[in-house]
Structure 1
Amino acid sequence: MSKGGFSWKRATGVTKAKQNFSRKTGIPTTRSGRQRKAGSAMGCATFIMLSILIIITLILIIL
């Protein structure tokens, strides 16, 4: 990453367009941002799936 200077992406408006897209849709445009968002969603989904699995197991044991 540079410490300033000229950037073609900033000069042509690519950076601003990506920022606006990301803010409006909630989808990160960087690779690390997408991985971070997917990881946080998986953490939540894993907890929910584990809870459902435990409940189903308990129901099957009781029957």
Structure 2
Amino acid sequence: MNKGGFSWKRLLGITRVKSNISRKIGIPLTRSGRQRKLGAAMGCITLLVGVVGIVITAGLWAALGG
């Protein structure tokens, strides 16, 4: 029935402590969590850089009489 298995870390409360620390500092402690957070940040930065590039290009185009 129970397929989860036994975990010493859960029994000793290590999992809960790590989870609380991660929430307080805002940085995931697992490798996959850090990669996911970094990927999300890179997506936002890429979008922002693209919009700024378009605005600068349009401004230069207008300034040069295009």
What number of residue pairs does the alignment pair up? 61
TM-score by length of 1: 0.77
Structure-2 separation of matches of 1:20 and 1:53: 40
Identity rate of aligned residues, in percent? Answer: 59
Q: Which residue is equivalent to 1:52?
A: 52
2:28 is the counterpart of 1:37: no
RMSD of the TM alignment (CA)? 1.5
Runs of 4+ in 1 over 4 A off after TM superposition: none
| Deviations, residues 5-55 of structure 1 (Å, cap 9, x unaligned) | 443323443212110101112211111111111111111111111000111
TM-score normalised by structure 2 residue count: 0.75
Q: Which has the larger radius of gyration?
A: 2
